[in-house]
Structure 1
Amino acid sequence: MTTLNFFDATYLTLPNGLKVMLCPTEGTTSFVSMSVKAGHFYDPENCQGLAHLLEHALFLGSQHLPKPNSINDLVERHGGAINAWTAAEYANYHFQCPGEALSTLLPAFADMLRRPLLNKQALVKEIQSIDAEFHFKRKDDLRRLYQIHKETCNPAHPFAKFSVGNAQIFNAIGDEALRGMLAGFHQQYYCAANMTMCIFTANPIDDVRQLVEKGFGSVEQGQQATADWPAMYLDEQKGVQINIVPLQSARRMIVTFPLPGLHNDYRVKPLNYFSHLLGDEGEGSLLAFLKAHNWVTNLIAGSGIEGDDYKDFNISFQLTREGLNHREHILYALFAYLKLLEQSLEEPWRYHEKSRLNDLAFQFEETPKLLPLACEYAQHLFLYDFDEIPFLRVSDNGFDKAVLQASLAHFSAHAIRVKTIAPGLPVDRQCKHYDAHYSITPFDTEFLDSVAQAEPIEGMFLPPPNPYLGSEYELTMQVPAYSKPQNLIAKAGLNCWFAQDHDFASPKGDIYFSFDTRGFTDSLPAVGAKRIWLACLNDELQAKYYRAEIAGLHYRLYGHQAGFSLHTRGFTNQQMLLATQLFEAIQTIRPSQEQFEMRKAMQLQNLQNALLNKPTNRLFSRLSVLIQRNTQAPVDLIKAVEQCTYEDMLTYADAALAEFYLETLMHGNWSPQEATAFARQIEQQAPNAVSSPLSRQVSLLPTGKTLVHQVPSEHEDAAVVLYLQAPSNSDHDTIMCMVLEQMLSAPFFNALRTQKQLGYVVGTGYVPHNQHPGMSFYVQSPTHSPEQLLDEITRFLFEQLKDIDFYQVYWNNIRQNLLKQLEDKDLSLSMKSQRLWISLGTEDYHFDRNLRLAAMIENLEFDQISAYADKLANRELFGELVLFAQGKFDDATFPSGLRVDDITAFKELTPGH
């Protein structure tokens, strides 16, 4: 378990004014983040997107690493990863690497930030990349919504600026003038007084301090950027309703309360408390009330844009068709619940219970994502004094009624901004850049007055004390024999496994159940019925077990190729009780007709939206369908779900539960006696566990042939995925796939994206399907046809494979990177549970697959890699599948290969294994 103690951190300010936080942590990886107060708010009016372009430009070469993307190559060769982002007020640059590489990479990182070359030729190509990114997002509903948000706020506030930039904007400036603007922006904002740094590392802090001082001590001091912005919203932009027509099928209502920077109050944390109650999903909650009226299916409270001195507090409702016509009633219910929230301030125990829940979450936190956390804390150094930083993650124990009341007073009916997102809404304008249609109109003042006076409604009430919140969380005694999974029950239809946690000293655990059942898998209508049934069950369980969720007892009920699974995780205290309750509910709940109709509509909406995903997403989704034989495509499932009746769903569910194969794993802080008793209880609760496990077959592609499959897509971009399937699922084929993908990944990206500018989405991946190894190479492009993309992919790939000896100089680094991935200890108890569960699914009863692969890589000679690559290059070894989306390009004849567009025909052509 990774632990962080910010009280042990070292905080320093260099003589030039750069603030630095050095935090000791465990593990072998270091995490570095530099925050620069130079986000898009600081863009000049005549070159919006300049901050974003500069972020990209810093990767195009610096004084000591002059070639484009040399910093990326250097970091990757040392087993790390580097990236950056540009937000509203800040830009951030960050990387992670093995601790021993920090002394090499931190100086290179400093060079990149301090001395960019801003090469004109490289900039021209990067502008093409940003333009591709812009076009890539033009059909993204979230990006379209964001642009409408900008156009409906104060035009004098910098939030209204277009943050991304595109070729039209940049090319209008001219190459030389643009380079001058970038250099001026860099000189003004990339100075020590305007930068802060956070490093999490297990390296000796004094050594890291010296590296920081040497690398960044000579950065010019400069001045911190001032942020004297006007109000985010004008009076006429409050108390308004905004209609938005989306591309995807969606019905949402987002109620926004514009607030000052209340999220920065780390002592009382008022917005955390308000989100906790408004987002409650238990009985009596706002969500439960609205669901009972069939108006909404989901609710999220607390999200929204935020900055140093502003915060949008959003309450987002996923609407039903009926709810779309009852938006006013939903607003009344919301303000009625706000009245209850105000009353809760007279009963501090709810605030203290929330604090207790936060204490438990922090005390037993499993593997916080340290790179995002380093980015977060680098930015915090701008806002808080050093002596405040350690308290930011400490629980909100500072109940202060006056502060909470003052904060709640900002939740005014007359200030709300209500966005409704649905097809067919009346709209009268179109936003810039993304062409989304919307309208903005004021609410009637009398209506807002009446909403503000809404009184508590019968059926809505504040949550009672949480029955799942334990008083003690103790560790059980370890028994060596159970350090690996042991089979407690093994009989026809049922296998129950148990392993103790001997690594993490945490009062937590995981329980997995997998139901293999033909009743839910032997036909498309059965799979369609399963989707609706699982959605209905999740809906039924949501309110009943929400208290368990917020007490650190989580569950997930989901479908898989052979049936469905239940997974519970969290504190072992009362988890067995929750698991048996859920297990019983699965077998006894019969959803209502109303639930069926609501969830059927939602499943259809989700499946239809899946057909509007970006081309590369569509291609990889279809790849899974083609290779995993028991997986169905959304386009086929739509018909099955549409035709499913309530009686059909119940019939299929009854058949599925009448006979199934059940496998379970219990791993964590339990004793063998508790696990045995639990297994016996499951045995009694599962009299219908009498079947055999179902196959997880994959389609075997023919060697020496190329199959070609087109996926329809409404997106204008073309896309190609070349999938190479290994001849077997042996350990040898697995490691060869892993090695070759690692070797080719960075050169592929550099050649096809950076140099040839084929598109914004370019990459490779190691792709195992049901543990059968393979590799993928993909490009999505607004400028090149599928034929051109495939030609570039195959030319690069087979030229590189034939010249694989060139990579011998990198082999040791690649070997070490792969060994680190395979030999790394599990980072959390849940990760270990998942690994053990996957091992059971693949019948790896020694639970040592990663160690076997690591040993093979350790002993692998480059001559073996060269020989394997040669066979692959000669098309003698792997099966090949090309998936493509045509985009806006003419439907010309695709290059040679056996064209099989029909999914059923494809599976008939490729035998299962």
Structure 2
Amino acid sequence: MACQQNSLPACFVSLSLRAGHFYDPNDCQGLAHLLEHMVFMGSRHLPKPNALNDFIERFGGNLNAWTGTEYANFHYSCERHALEQTLPAFADALRQPLLNIDAIQNEVRSIDAEFKFKRKDDLRRLYQIHKETCNPAHPFSKFSVGNQETFTRHSADKLRTLLKDFHSQYYCARNMCLCIATPLPVSELSNLLEQSFGGFAPGELAPADWPLLYTPDQLGIEIAINPLQQARRLIVTFALPGLHNEFKTKPLNYISHLLGDEGEGSLLAYLKERGWASNLIAGSGIEGDAFKDFNISFQLTKQGLKDREQVLNALFSYLELVKQSVDTPWRFHEKAQLAALANQYDENIKPLTLVCDYAQYLFMYSAEEISQFRSLVDSFDATLINNAMRYFTPDNMRVKVIAPEVATSQTCRFYEAKYQVNPLDDALLEQLRTPQRIDGLALPPPNPYLGGDYQLTLPESGQDTPHCITDKPGKQIWFAQDQQFHSPKGDIYLSFDVPAFSDNLHNVAAKRIWLGTLNDYLQAKYYRAEIAGLHYRIYGHQCGLTLHTRGFTNQQCLLAEQLLSAIMSFTPDQATFEHHKAMQRQNLQNTLLNKPTNRLFSRLSVLIQRNTQAPVELIDALCEVSYASMSTTMAHALDSYYIEGLMHGNWSASQANSFADTVDKACADANGQPLSRAVSRLPVGAPLYHEVPCEHDDASVVLYLQAPSANLQDTAMCMLLEQMLAAPFFNVLRTEKQLGYIVGTGYVPHNQHPGIAFYVQSPNQSPSTLLSAITSFLFQQLGEIEFYRHYWPTIQQNLLKQLQEHDLSLSMKSQRLWVSLGIKDRGFNRNAQLAAMVSQLTFEDIQSYAHSLAERSLFGELVLFSRGRFAGIDVPEDRSVNSISSFKQRISYFR
């Protein structure tokens, strides 16, 4: 399938193969995943590992792949006119992988590291229990990832033979579907496709005649599971055939739309009112061509866990209302209108995601049908919806109860998660078959935010550039009219810098609790606005909080005004406070269970940004916040504050001025100054070290190098050096040295102060070994920077391309303008300035800068590490950061 789009900024390619883990041999599970890795480890024309990745990156692209249940997928992007060069190389890697034995053994170690990395991931643990409690004759029950144990049952030669056989059987023409989105005429692609893919053997389409996913005794059961995180969840699963493939009516989308409603009268609102649940998600679940799990997932409170039978009663009572809704189809038509509206004005279309989806759809649908997916308005079909609803019965469900306190008696393979399976009580099943009607439950009324006419505002001279329309002590509001995207949408940002929200840990903790209660209060009140394309977020930042609304401009100003009023006046009751205090503590405790590398980067932000706090500190502070102290904090927090805003989109100047007047009146007490986003000034010449305790077996190290300033030259140099070193760092430390699964570099600015991070997480090596490998690589490469002279023009051009990229959507442009305001870039052209700087730099400039960095006379250095099951790093006391608060008190700051 080829799609010609002249406006596309690049080419996007996706190849889907019916070669997922369902086709793994029983005695070598994970083989499909291993072959996916081996495709990148060298082919006839590009024999070096990761050479294909490097080749595509030279043409401004990215390459990736995944292995799913029935399908594997390989996809990449490249510059508009680079398809002729890249497509043959892509096809060659898929057709003729070398399958070198040394590379196979390396990738087995990489997959084992990936497996170990996820062993303490609750989702992976839940997934494995799911596999062990389904039909063992169904291929879903297979272990899809693979690890050292499953692969080393075979000799290296045998494993290579298995890979060759798998490749020969499944990587064939009839087992492939290809989708390309390109600005090139389709007529020009024929020869290129023949040249690239003509050499594939025809082969046979892999069979897909699986048995039922669940046997009768695997339905009507309860599975109790102990998680690692402090969470309580109830997941109700209904086993369905492939109803998600009904693309004209989409009956499951309609059912999930009603079940997932969060407005007044909804199932979630009812459960919240009774203190049983705090969140509900409907419609997710595993799926294949011929099967679908429909999940309703509840985030329970402690009381909800005790009363979970009542939660199930409420669910089935609401399901009865959904069944009755088929007789009143206006809700379906409203849902179809909302979906059509979202598609018509979708600003976040990701071409690479679309071509990946379409490549897989080609196994089931014609190209003509696929072309209708985004334009076809859902058609009402009562028979189809009623047919779908007949699967939503107590006897066709599985119930997972996930909580630390539930009794368990079994341990799953590979991930060591505890669980227990019991049949659901017959009396409960009988009760759920004829659920009692609950007066507090009601289907949603007509959506008052669904407009009938979305008009564009006429362009006005001089209004398309951001300019300040309110400039008074304590407040600045900026406006720019959209004259580029011609969309009836816009964004409003309002940021509050509040000294009382950042001057001590108690107040930061009180702010977190209050924001949780505020958002909970607003959720049911404005849910219908959300699904009608009027979105909002109210979130905390290091100096206060931000209100962001986005979407259709009609009624958005009214919504923003109402939300602003809530910020100024809302006070929760004590019961709501206690509930959200417990939730915030649980959330913070769960962040302490994040993967080691994630923990290290989180702590890096805490140490570098003066007004960012660590979860471990906030947990203690939360415990000390009382309802009275939170109320006092909130009552006086806005005695002094500064507000800055931006309005960008489909508004006229008069509408913008009117809204600015509203903000001016609502925030009449604003009298403060913008707060400093200060960052720590790391010492130059010798690194500081900080250990982060982490309950994970893997060791992890992050080396952070902080630029000497935030000026254009230092920023550009950081960006260039990171891009220059990224690929070789990955190739040497991951592919060659096999230090771990998580290996990489990153350009990491903090409050726009530039820096570079190098990181490795390993199940096999100590932090000392990892740090030695990182520093040896870094200083050797910096000392031999002449090697990169050949690559310099490509690296320079790739960065220039990134910096010169046009805004792809109105919301993307709004965000860029908002960030520019945050860094005081009143010309709104920081990227253009950086591009000009990058274009002026010579390789000799890079060489000189790299030598200064290698001599450790330029950058500040900070090493963060987690020891895992290994010994830590022996650190001199005067270089060790043991206390976050002491470090922040004694360090100097960039301001």
Q: TM-score, normalised by structure 2?
A: 0.99
SS in 2 for 1:482: coil
Give the 5 Å matches for 1:293-692: 293-692=274-673
Equivalent residues, number: 894
Deviations 1:604-662, CA, capped at 9 Å, x for gaps: 01100111110000000000000000000000000111111111111111111232111
- Using the alignment, how far apart are the partners of 1:114 and 1:892 within structure 2? 46
Question: Residues 414, 396 of structure 1: CA spacing in aligned structure 2 closer, same or farther, 3 A cutoff?
Answer: farther
Counterpart for residue 148 of structure 1:
129
How far is the alpha carbon of 1:25 from its aligned partner? 5.4
1:222 aligns with 2:217: no
Contact 2:609 2:751 in 1 (8 A): yes
Contact 2:4 2:184 in 1 (8 A): no
1:699 aligns with 2:680: yes
Counterpart for residue 880 of structure 2:
899
Counterpart for residue 47 of structure 1:
28
Contact 2:21 2:31 in 1 (8 A): yes
1:775 aligns with 2:723: no
Which one of the candidate residues 744, 749, 765 is aligned to 2:730? Answer: 749
How far is the alpha carbon of 1:208 from its aligned partner? 2.7
Which one of the candidate residues 243, 250, 266 is aligned to 2:224? Answer: 243
Contact 1:266 1:396 in 2 (8 A): no
- Using the alignment, how far apart are the partners of 1:199 and 1:377 within structure 2? 9
How far is the alpha carbon of 1:203 from its aligned partner? 2.2
| One-letter amino acid of the counterpart of residue 349, structure 1 | W
Counterpart for residue 852 of structure 1:
833
- Using the alignment, how far apart are the partners of 2:681 and 2:376 within structure 1? 53
Deviations 1:875-909, CA, capped at 9 Å, x for gaps: 01000000000110024524897111211122133
Counterpart for residue 805 of structure 1:
786
- Using the alignment, how far apart are the partners of 1:529 and 1:54 within structure 2? 51
Question: Residues 878, 106 of structure 1: CA spacing in aligned structure 2 closer, same or farther, 3 A cutoff?
Answer: same
Counterpart for residue 150 of structure 2:
169
Deviations 1:525-569, CA, capped at 9 Å, x for gaps: 000000000000000000000000000000000000100000000
How far is the alpha carbon of 1:483 from its aligned partner? 1.4
Contact 1:615 1:719 in 2 (8 A): yes
- Using the alignment, how far apart are the partners of 2:868 and 2:875 within structure 1? 14
Contact 2:2 2:186 in 1 (8 A): no
Greater Cα shift, 534-543 or 204-213: 204-213
How far is the alpha carbon of 1:215 from its aligned partner? 0.4
How far is the alpha carbon of 1:395 from its aligned partner? 4.4
Give the 5 Å matches for 1:808-887: 808-887=789-868
- Using the alignment, how far apart are the partners of 2:205 and 2:443 within structure 1? 46
- Using the alignment, how far apart are the partners of 2:2 and 2:8 within structure 1? 18
- Using the alignment, how far apart are the partners of 1:675 and 1:892 within structure 2? 57
Contact 1:73 1:746 in 2 (8 A): yes
Contact 1:709 1:883 in 2 (8 A): yes
Deviations 1:232-276, CA, capped at 9 Å, x for gaps: 001010000000001111111100000000000001100000010
Deviations 1:581-620, CA, capped at 9 Å, x for gaps: 1001111111111211111111001100111110000000
Contact 1:476 1:671 in 2 (8 A): yes
Greater Cα shift, 666-675 or 206-215: 206-215
| One-letter amino acid of the counterpart of residue 533, structure 1 | W
Counterpart for residue 274 of structure 1:
255
Counterpart for residue 11 of structure 1:
none
SS in 1 for 2:462: helix
| One-letter amino acid of the counterpart of residue 384, structure 2 | V
Question: Residues 726, 896 of structure 1: CA spacing in aligned structure 2 closer, same or farther, 3 A cutoff?
Answer: farther
Counterpart for residue 135 of structure 1:
116
Deviations 1:162-211, CA, capped at 9 Å, x for gaps: 00011111111111111011000000000010000111111222223331
Contact 2:223 2:419 in 1 (8 A): yes
SS in 2 for 1:578: helix
| One-letter amino acid of the counterpart of residue 691, structure 1 | G
1:285 aligns with 2:285: no
How far is the alpha carbon of 1:910 from its aligned partner? 1.8
Question: Residues 210, 592 of structure 1: CA spacing in aligned structure 2 closer, same or farther, 3 A cutoff?
Answer: farther
Contact 2:18 2:170 in 1 (8 A): yes
How far is the alpha carbon of 1:133 from its aligned partner? 0.5
| One-letter amino acid of the counterpart of residue 723, structure 1 | Y
Deviations 1:212-242, CA, capped at 9 Å, x for gaps: 2210122111110011111100101000000
Greater Cα shift, 885-894 or 357-366: 885-894
How far is the alpha carbon of 1:788 from its aligned partner? 0.5
Question: Residues 892, 626 of structure 1: CA spacing in aligned structure 2 closer, same or farther, 3 A cutoff?
Answer: closer
- Using the alignment, how far apart are the partners of 1:374 and 1:25 within structure 2? 16
How far is the alpha carbon of 1:396 from its aligned partner? 4.3
- Using the alignment, how far apart are the partners of 1:244 and 1:705 within structure 2? 48
| One-letter amino acid of the counterpart of residue 758, structure 1 | L
Give the 5 Å matches for 1:246-261: 246-261=227-242
Contact 2:18 2:72 in 1 (8 A): yes
- Using the alignment, how far apart are the partners of 2:204 and 2:289 within structure 1? 18
Contact 1:26 1:201 in 2 (8 A): no
SS in 2 for 1:545: helix
- Using the alignment, how far apart are the partners of 2:210 and 2:2 within structure 1? 28
SS in 2 for 1:172: coil
Deviations 1:653-705, CA, capped at 9 Å, x for gaps: 11112321111100000000000011001111112211111111000101112
| One-letter amino acid of the counterpart of residue 753, structure 2 | H
Question: Residues 395, 354 of structure 1: CA spacing in aligned structure 2 closer, same or farther, 3 A cutoff?
Answer: farther
Contact 2:42 2:49 in 1 (8 A): yes
Contact 1:154 1:234 in 2 (8 A): yes
- Using the alignment, how far apart are the partners of 1:805 and 1:891 within structure 2? 35
Greater Cα shift, 91-100 or 526-535: 91-100
Structure 1 residue ranges without an equivalent (≥5): 1-19
- Using the alignment, how far apart are the partners of 2:689 and 2:146 within structure 1? 36
SS in 1 for 2:494: strand
Contact 2:11 2:183 in 1 (8 A): yes
Contact 1:520 1:653 in 2 (8 A): no
- Using the alignment, how far apart are the partners of 2:380 and 2:30 within structure 1? 42
- Using the alignment, how far apart are the partners of 2:437 and 2:832 within structure 1? 60
- Using the alignment, how far apart are the partners of 1:58 and 1:703 within structure 2? 43
- Using the alignment, how far apart are the partners of 1:407 and 1:892 within structure 2? 59
- Using the alignment, how far apart are the partners of 2:656 and 2:840 within structure 1? 40
How far is the alpha carbon of 1:23 from its aligned partner? 4.3
Counterpart for residue 744 of structure 2:
763
The alignment-based identity, stated in percent, is: 59
SS in 2 for 1:777: strand
| One-letter amino acid of the counterpart of residue 504, structure 1 | F
| One-letter amino acid of the counterpart of residue 30, structure 2 | G
1:83 aligns with 2:64: yes
SS in 2 for 1:481: coil
